Structure 1
């Protein structure tokens, strides 16, 4: 099962052939259930995916001064 978040809308879908969860609370509960008891490993580096998402959002919606 693959969880695919679509940022920044808060929409979380589980393999579109099965179901789509548009409720942010339900999505958060599912992620919480899947990650409960997991270990968080901090590498001290910035997330590549986060940096790419921020760059894409900034390119799509440039700030107007």
Structure 2
């Protein structure tokens, strides 16, 4: 398991933005930990056209905190 810090993708509202209430995403945001090897699409508007896949411990300057 990976421990998440503020500013990392797993705690960002753009992480898996297409399905933000999926149980695994909710669990990551409440427990602040995620399984190693997990990837989700980045839904940040500046990155959307790139169709990026990011890990929960990735990060960028466009971080926006998700509601837990």
For the aligned pair, the TM-score class normalised by the smaller chain equals under 0.3
- Which is greater in Rg? 1
Using the size of structure 2 for normalisation, the TM-score is 0.24
Which structure has the higher relative contact order (CA within 8 Å, separation 6+)? 2
